[in-house]
Homo-oligomer: A and B are copies of this chain.
Amino acid sequence: MVDDSEFDYISWIKEQTKHGKNVLVGIGDDASVIDIGSGRKLVVTTDTVIEGVHCRLEDGAVLIGRKSLAVSISDLAAMGCPADYCVIAATLTKDTPRDFADDIYRGIRTIADVYKVDLVGGDVTTGKGPLSITTTVFGIAEGLEPVLRTGSQVGDAICVTGSLGGSLRGKHLRFEPRLTAGIELNRTFQVTSMIDISDGLVQDLAHLIEHRAFHGADIFAEAVPVSDDARALEADDGKSALEHALHDGEDFELCFTCSETVAQALVEGGVCGVSVSRIGTITDSGAIRLLKKGEAPSILSPDGYVHRFGQDG
Closest to A308 in B: B126
Contact A97 B45 (CB under 8 A): no
The smallest beta-carbon distance between A156 and chain B, in angstroms, is 26
A261 on interface, CB distance cutoff 8 Å = no
Contact of A27 among B9, B31, B37, B120 (CB under 8 A): B120
Residues of B within 8 A of A256 (CB): none
State A136–B36 Cα separation when bound (angstroms): 17
Q: Which of A81-107 contact B (CB under 8 A)?
A: 85, 87-89, 91-94, 96-98, 101-102, 105
Contact B6 A138 (CB under 8 A): no
A162 on interface, CB distance cutoff 8 Å = no
A203 on interface, CB distance cutoff 8 Å = no
Q: Which of A1-17 contact B (CB under 8 A)?
A: 1-3, 5-6, 8-10, 12-13, 16-17
Residues of A within 8 A of B (CB): 1-3, 5-6, 8-10, 12-13, 16-17, 19-20, 22-23, 26-27, 31-32, 34, 36-38, 40, 42, 44-48, 50-53, 85, 87-89, 91-94, 96-98, 101-102, 105, 109, 118-128, 130, 132, 134, 136, 138, 140, 310-311
Closest to A28 in B: B121
Residues of B within 8 A of A136 (CB): 44, 46, 87, 89, 136
Contact of A128 among B6, B9, B27, B52 (CB under 8 A): B52
Closest to A109 in B: B16
Given the known interface contacts A5-B98, A53-B126, the answer about A119 and B85 at a Cβ–Cβ threshold of 8 Å is no
State A52–B127 Cα separation when bound (angstroms): 7
Residues of B within 8 A of A8 (CB): 98
